[in-house]
Amino acid sequence: MMKKLHKILMTVFILNISVSRAEMDWDDLSNEQQKILLPFQSSWNSLDNGAKEKLMTNTNKWLDMSSAQRMQSRKKLNRFKNLPKEEREKFKQRIEHLKTLTPQERRQLEQAKRNFQHLSPEEKTRLRKKYNQLPPAQRKKAIQRFNRKQNQKEFIGKFDIEKRQPIVEMFKSLKKTDRIKFRKYLKEQSPKQRHEQVLDLLFIQVDKRSAYIQSL
Mean pLDDT score of the chain, rounded to an integer?
A: 82
Burial 122-138 (b: 16+ CB within 10 A, else e): eeeeeeeeeeeeeeeee
Hey, what amino acid is at 10? M
Residue 3 pLDDT more than 70? no
Q: Which residue, 201, 108, 207, is CA-closest to 150?
A: 108
Whether residues 8 and 83 fall in one domain: yes
How deeply is 59 buried, as exposed, middle or buried, from its count of CB atoms within 10 A (0-12, 13-18, 19+)?
buried
The rounded distance, in Å, linking the Cα atoms of 27 and 52 is: 13
Whether residues 29 and 105 fall in one domain: no
The predicted pLDDT at position 11 comes to: 55
Whether residues 32 and 118 fall in one domain: no
Whether residues 70 and 118 fall in one domain: no
Whether residues 184 and 147 fall in one domain: no
pTM tops 0.85: no
Whether residues 16 and 36 fall in one domain: yes
Contacts of 184 (CB under 8 A, 6+ apart): none
> What residue numbers bound the domain in which 67 lies?
1-92
Whether residues 119 and 132 fall in one domain: yes
pLDDT-derived band of residue 174, with 50, 70 and 90 as boundaries?
very high
The 10s digit of each residue's pLDDT in 39-62 is: 888 888 888 888 888 888 888 888
Whether residues 16 and 30 fall in one domain: yes
